[in-house]
Amino acid sequence: MGSYKLITRYLLWVLLVGTYQVEAQPSKVPRPNVIFILADDMGWGDAGCYGNRRFKTPAIDRLAREGRLFTEFYVNGSVCSPSRAAFLTGRYPARDSIHGHLATPEANQQRGMANYLNPSLPTLPGLLRQAGYATAQIGKWHLGHSPDAPLPGSYGNEYFITNTSRDTADFDLWAPANRPRATGMVVDEALGFIEKHHPARPFYVNMWLVDPHAVLAPSEEQLREFENGASAKPYARKHYQAEIPFYGAPQVYFAAMTEMDRQIGRLIDRLVQLGVYENTILIFSSDNGPEDMAVENAAHSAAGSNGPFRGRKRSLYEGGIRVPFIVKWSGKVPAGTIDSTTVVSGVDLLPSVLRLCGVSQPSTLAIDGEDLSAAWLGKPTPRRRPLCWEWRYAIPGHVLDRSPQLAIRDQDWKLLMNPDRSRVELYHLRQDPSELRNRAAEEPKVTQRLMKYLLDWHKTLPAGPVDASVGKNDYPWPGRK
């Protein structure tokens, strides 16, 4: 009997110890992969899930159906280079003298700009790579292509293939022969990188497209899909009994957007086949609003939609800086949901992705962005600080799109003004998303508070030249000087 009790106690002890050891084991939940798909010059209203009914975007709509769509997302620049710098660094791009698109050294110098993004700044790919992620930059770069500019590998990218001149001779996404398949080329490279590193390491991929940026050159097959309803050709045949040899801008734009969406769908299908789709955070956005037809290289194609908003690319009105933003992560981000209250921006990408990937943000990191990952996961979250913008250059197109030089968004209020305190405009965006009713005179306290904040912020930026027409919306009225 005594032996039986000893054996029983021993077995209980083994059971308890074994149970304790199992519970004490750290959780081995795999870290999520991340793919950031960035369209180029795509408007807020271009996807079906954002209200577009002119053409179909089933792949983008799928991401929204399986993820979370944000209606209040802003880039931190109204053209490509500033918004991309903000995505990488979490900092307002103007702090680092990236005010417009980076061009030749001569053009950059004339505009008081840096030649390239400072490679000593911590970046999202760099911080993730230090944490064990395989990182890649594929597609467009546009953060420096002067002869002295560092390549994308200097910014934390383990692998890169972009359209900068010194990367590779056979990946020219702007070549006329490659334009119809440019998004497909980016998808091919991204999938090759993913297949190489999965499942040994989690991956982070910046998949930055050149579509639908002009010059657009869809193939005849792609154009044929929109032959009726978007083209000048049917009209010409109907009324003139002849075919006029040109395409309407909608037909060109719709064809390019449809092919871009088709290739995103191909990416999704392959991720499913590889078994990585479920644990991959897919982020979709655009670098700024749609291009204006007044710009020469887009005269044949500038049919992008800014939705209900005023302003297009380069403008600080909503249509120039508010863009689509969708986050999908199966089982984590609530599927089929819409966040219409959280004000999110490009500088928030770095801290939010780090949190979701379980990577600690360095305490010394000096950024403007906020961790809004809780909003991504389904809980609307108010910003702690306002968002600010500056645009120093001309704005082509309609006078209604030519915004003042500075802008600030704080909760539901948005104020625009010039540094000399001219053109002060205040809008309540919940009630007036199209920015049509200036309430500066009605709300003097709000106006003065936001003016002070914005001007104080502007003083912290590096000084530099501005265009003579900046902040103006003059029109040459007959008989007026």
* Mean of pLDDT values over 374-384: 97
pLDDT per residue over 413-433, tens digit each? Answer: 999 999 999 999 999 999 999
d(CA 271, CA 203): 13
Beta carbons of 236 and 244 less than 8 angstroms apart: yes
Give 262's contacts (C-beta < 8 A, 6+ positions apart). Answer: 59
Mean of per-residue pLDDT scores for the chain: 91
For residue 181, pLDDT beyond 80: yes
One-letter amino acid at 195 equals E
Buried-exposed string 3-35: b where 16+ CB fall within 10 A, e elsewhere: eeeeeeeeeeeeeeeeeeeeeeeeeeeebbbbb
| Percent residues over pLDDT 70 in the chain | 89
Q: What is the pLDDT of residue 226?
A: 85
Q: Give the pLDDT confidence of 437-447 residue by residue, as tens digits.
A: 999 999 999 99
Using one digit for the tens of pLDDT, what is the confidence trace for 269-297? 999 999 999 999 999 999 999 999 999 99
Higher pLDDT pick, 243 / 178: 178
CA–CA distance, 211 with 221 (Å, rounded to integer)? 17
CA distance 192 to 278: 19
DSSP state of 419: T
- The domain limits of the chain are 33-381
How confident is the model at residue 5, as a pLDDT? 45
Burial of 391 (0-12, 13-18, 19+ CB in 10 A): buried
Q: What is the pLDDT of residue 381?
A: 97
pLDDT for 12-32, tens place per residue? 333 333 332 322 233 467 899
Which one, of 276, 272, 256, lies nearest residue 204 by Cα?
A: 276
Strand partners, 271: none
pLDDT at residue 153 is higher than 90:
yes
Among the four given CATH numbers 3.90.1150.10, 3.40.720.10, 3.40.1180.10, 3.30.420.250, the one describing domain 33-381: 3.40.720.10
Q: What's the average model confidence in pLDDT over 181-208?
A: 96
Where helices occur in 298-443 by DSSP H, the ranges are 318-321, 349-356, 373-376
